[in-house]
Chains A and B, each alone.
Chain A
Amino acid sequence: MTTELVLILTASPTMEGPSRMWSMFGATLILILSTAMFFVYFQAVCQKILRRQFDREYFRSIVNANRLEFPSLRKLLEEYNAPMDYPRLCMTLKCDYLALTYLLKNAANVNQRYSQEERLLIVYFRWLFFTLGVRRLLKVGEKKAVLRLTSVLQYFANVVGERVNTVRFGNLTAADYLLNV
């Protein structure tokens, strides 16, 4: 809990033999479990943010206007269970991510900066993207990770769409205007 506690822990008398071994075993177990729990809670927070309900599907207009590919990628995985072309998949996700983070920061955003939850989700996306490579090597839960990545992108697109929807050009919303250009 504290620096003082560290001093007490490190200054505790050195143990030898089986008791030292048990102490190390206990510490290792606590280390593994606590680290795992830390990431579980981090992921749970991100998933709770992603569960936010938007009053309509704002992401569609943003996807169409910017020719983003993540919805078709998602559909491909969910409905057809198609095999993944990994380099292309990474490129698609990365391009959509870059486009959406740019829009998040600059499109109809008066402050020109990310909000607190957007920053957290950006970290989450990067973390998932990193684990995607590891999952691919281990061949474990690759599809699940891609679906989670697309859900983050969908959230970003929804936020951008919601913001853009508040800006109006005459009778048209900005999203409708973009589609008509």
Chain B
Amino acid sequence: MDSELISYGFQYACYVIEAGLIVFMTRSPQRSRLICPLFYLTCSLGASLGRTIALYKYGRLSPLYRSTYWITDFPLVISLFVLVCLFFRRACADQEKMWRSVRFLLIFVFILVGGVSGLCFSRNYSSLVAEFVVAFNQNLYFTCLVLTTMLYLLLQHLDSVDDQLGLLVCGVGIQLAGPTATLALINLIGAEQFAQALNSLVMRFCTLGMLMVWVYAIVHVKDTGDDDVSRRRRIPVMAEATAHLNV
């Protein structure tokens, strides 16, 4: 009961922060740079509202609510994938050659996930939602976690000065890694009641964590992405001083 209350508290806090962030970003002069988080948050809030309406209308145990849940989960996972792709684009803004390879990889991964999920669907054509959507959502979700890790490593490799992007990526990482670890734990221990409570709590806690990190990144961190001066790689102080002397 207590965990349920805490979980609902987290959930409504998430709704409020999501709505606040959407309003802030649409009014921000940097909204063109923030289009990726804005897109994802809008999808997330839309899905949450759709689910809440379905929950009150049909009840938690009804098959209609279940279908609504998975159908709204589908665009949400797609939007998550698009978000990760847009982050990759922003990370490779200076590296056109690298972006071409990354773009090819992302398209390939998406087709691969669709193909693997299609194998589950081909076994049972009668239930699209039960087989394909669930398998596709799970696979794409896990793929997004792997891609986020790759993106984080890429940012480290490029020694990116875009701190805002770094924080946004870390936020997504927290949101994906926490629930994935919980699901793996649940799969190992298999206790149903405990599993439900734990998963619901961790998932909302991680979403809240992601939103808090995003709030910090969007509100407090100056976006240095478009600034040509700051885009330069960090030059060692001695090298910079020598260059000044030569001039």
Q: Which residues on A are within 8 Å of B, measured CB to CB? A: 1-10, 23-24, 27-28, 30-31, 34-35, 37-38, 40-42, 44-45, 48-49, 51, 116-117, 120
Contact = CB atoms under 8 A, between A and B. Distances in A.
A9 B137 contact: no
B170 to A, nearest CB: 5
B165 to A, nearest CB: 10
Interface in B5-53: none
B185 A31 contact: yes
B188 interface: yes
B78 interface: no
B66 A4 contact: yes
Contacts of A116: 212, 215-216
Interface of A (DSSP majority class): helix
Interface residues of B, number: 42
Nearest to B155: A44
B149 interface: yes
B220 interface: yes
Interface of B: 66, 69-70, 73, 134, 137-138, 141-142, 145, 149, 152, 163, 166-167, 170-171, 173-174, 177-181, 183-188, 190, 192, 195-196, 199-200, 203, 212-213, 215-216, 220
Contact of B199 (A3, A23, A34, A51): A3
B236 to A, nearest CB: 17
B141 A1 contact: yes
A4 B69 contact: yes
Given A30-B180, A31-B184, A41-B177, A2 B203 contact: yes
A28 B188 contact: yes
Given A1-B137, A38-B178, A116-B212, A27 B184 contact: yes
B134 A8 contact: yes
B168 to A, nearest CB: 10
B183 A37 contact: no
B213 A45 contact: yes
B216 A117 contact: yes
15 contacts: A1-B179, A2-B203, A5-B134, A6-B199, A10-B195, A24-B188, A28-B188, A30-B181, A35-B177, A44-B152, A45-B167, A45-B171, A45-B174, A48-B166, A117-B220
A179 to B, nearest CB: 30
A158 to B, nearest CB: 15
A44 B200 contact: no
Nearest to A46: B170
B183 A6 contact: yes
Given A1-B179, A117-B216, A120-B212, 7 more contacts: A1-B203, A8-B134, A10-B192, A34-B184, A38-B181, A45-B171, A45-B213
A23 B187 contact: yes
Contacts of A28: 184, 188
Given A4-B70, A5-B183, A37 B167 contact: no
B181 A9 contact: no
Contact of B149 (A2, A8, A24, A37): A37
B190 A10 contact: yes
B73 A2 contact: yes
Contacts of B184: 27-28, 30-31, 34
B183 A9 contact: yes
